Structure 1
Amino acid sequence: MIKAPIPLLEDVLTVHERLCAAYGAPFPYFSTKDPLSELISALLSHRTKNRESGRAYKQLRERFPDWRQVRDAPVAEVEEAIAPCTWPEQKAPRIQAVLREVGERTGDTYDLEFLKEMAVPEARAWLESLSGVGPKTSAATLLFSRLRIPALPVDSHHHRVAQRLGWIPAKMGPGPAHAVLSALLPADWDAQTVYDHHEALMYHGQRCCYFYQPDCARCPVLAQCPFGKNRLRAE
C-alpha cells in the first residue's frame, strides 16, 4: 500500500490562496447540466480535449434528445454521434450500459437529484458502482453539475502539481489520489471553494507547472514546492 505524505493544513491553505489569487478565483462554473447529463459528459471527456468532447456531447444530444433514445439506439449510431471524442467505439457501449443501469435503479425516471441528499462519500460510491465510472467521473458529476456538491475531481494537471508539491507520492496514480487529496481539504469547504481549488491547480498545471520544462522561477507557490526548489538548485 502506498503511503502518502501528510502536508500541514497550513501549507495546503497557503497554496490554495496563492493559486486562487494568481489565476483569478472565484471561478464561474462552466456547466449547469443536470447530474445525468454531466455524468455522460464526463464519460465523453475521458482522454479527450474539452473542445472535442463538447462537440461529441452536442452531437449526441442533437441526434438523441432523450437519454432513453441513446440507451435504445443501435450502438453504431451512438458511436457515430460521439465521433469527435477519443475511442467512440469504447465509449458508446459504455454510455449505453450506464444508461441501462441508471434506468433500472431510478425506475426509468433518470432523475439523479436524490444524490444531493447523500453525504459526499455515499453519493460518490453510488456513482462509482455504475459500469465504467471512476473517482474523477463521480466527482465531476457531483461538483460540475447543478447539484454543486463539494467532491474534488483530480485531472492530470491537478495530479502533477500535487505530486510536485509533495502532497501525494510520485508513484500514486490519479485514481487513488482522489481520496488522499480530498482528505487534505477542510471539511467545511463548500462547493465553490472546492471548485476554485480544483480549477486553480489545473490552471497552474496548464500555465506554469508544465509536464516538460515547468517554469519554476515564476511559480507563485515555489516556497511550498520541494520539486521546484530542488530543480532550481540543480540548474
Structure 2
Amino acid sequence: MPSLFESAEFDARQAKALLVHERLCQEYGAPFRFFSQKDALSELVSAVLSHRTRNQDSYKAYQQLRARFPAWEDVRDAPVAEVQAAISSCTWPEQKAPRIQAMLREISERCGGPCDLAFLADMPVAEARAWLESLNGVGPKTSAATLLFSTLRIPAMPVDSHHHRVAQRLGLISTKTGPDAAHEQLAALLPTGWDAQQVYDHHEAFMYHGQKCCYFQAPACGRCVVLDQCPYGQQRLGRPA
C-alpha cells in the first residue's frame, strides 16, 4: 500500500499547493523582502521571545535585552532577575528568561566555545532542524524560523497560525492536523529544489492571505483568489464543490 507521500492523493495536494502558491504570490506581490537580518542565534532568541506575544512587545523585549547585554554570553551569565527585567515587555518573562539562559548554556556546552549557531549552515536542512529541536523548548516553528529568517537563509518552512488555517481550509492538510505535524506535511508538498527565497515567499504568501482575506472569523471568501481550490470557502458560500 503506497504511503501518503507516494499516493495519487498526495500528488493532487502537491499540485494544488503549487497552484495556490502561484496565485497568492501574484496577489500579494512576491518575491518578498526578508524582514530580518539577524544571525541565527539572535533569531532563535527573538523567536523564543515572540511566543504568545504581540510583535511590537517581543520586538521591544529583544531590543531592551540587546541594549542591556551586548553579547549573548552576557545574557547567559547574568543573574536571571536582570534578564527577566530586560524582557519584561513580553509575555511570561519569568519563564522565558531562565529558558533563554538555559538554552544559551546548552549551546555553549555543546559547541565548546562562544554562543554561535553559524555551523548550522554546513548541515542538511533536516539535520539542522533536528539539532535545534533537541534544545529544550524549541519546536518545529522555532527551528524553521531560525534557519529561514536568519542570515543563514536555509530553506526550512515555518507554519504560523495563519498559514496553518489557510492550508486546512484549502484541504492541503486535515482539519485534525496540529501545528507541529503540519510542518512536515506542508514542507513535503514543496519542490525539493526550492531555495530559501521560494520557501520564504510560500510562507509569507499564505500568511498574508490569512491576515488579509482568510480571517479566522468571517473570512472574505467572496474575493478570495483561490476560492475555486477551497472546499471550505465553496461550502461556506453554498457553491457546489
* TM-score of the two chains, using structure 1 as the length reference: 0.96
One-letter amino acid of the structure 1 residue matched with residue 16 of structure 2? D
Alpha-carbon separation, structure 1, partners of 2:116 and 2:75: 16
One-letter amino acid of the structure 2 residue matched with residue 137 of structure 1? T
Which of 97, 103, 106 lines up with 1:101 in the alignment? 106
Alpha-carbon separation, structure 2, partners of 1:152 and 1:198: 7
Counterpart residue number, 1:133? 138
Q: Is the 8 A contact 2:73 2:114 kept in 1?
A: no
Alpha-carbon separation, structure 2, partners of 1:14 and 1:61: 42
Counterpart residue number, 1:233? 238
2:55 is aligned with 1:50 = yes
Q: CA offsets, 1:6-37, max 9 Å, x none?
A: 34322111100100111111000011111000
Alignment of structure 1 residues 102-121 onto 2, 5 Å: 102-121=107-126
Q: CA offsets, 1:157-180, max 9 Å, x none?
A: 000001001111112111111011
Counterpart residue number, 1:190? 195
Alpha-carbon separation, structure 1, partners of 2:231 and 2:89: 39
Q: CA offsets, 1:27-65, max 9 Å, x none?
A: 000111110001100111111121111111000000011
Alpha-carbon separation, structure 2, partners of 1:73 and 1:111: 18
Q: What residue ranges of structure 1 are gaps of 5+ in the alignment? A: none
SS at match of 2:238: helix
RMSD between aligned residues = 1.3
Alpha-carbon separation, structure 2, partners of 1:51 and 1:119: 33
Q: What residue ranges of structure 2 are gaps of 5+ in the alignment? A: none
Q: Is the 8 A contact 2:49 2:61 kept in 1?
A: yes
2:153 is aligned with 1:148 = yes
Aligned residues: 232
SS at match of 1:8: helix
Counterpart residue number, 2:89? 84
Counterpart residue number, 2:35? 30
* TM-score of the two chains, using structure 2 as the length reference: 0.93
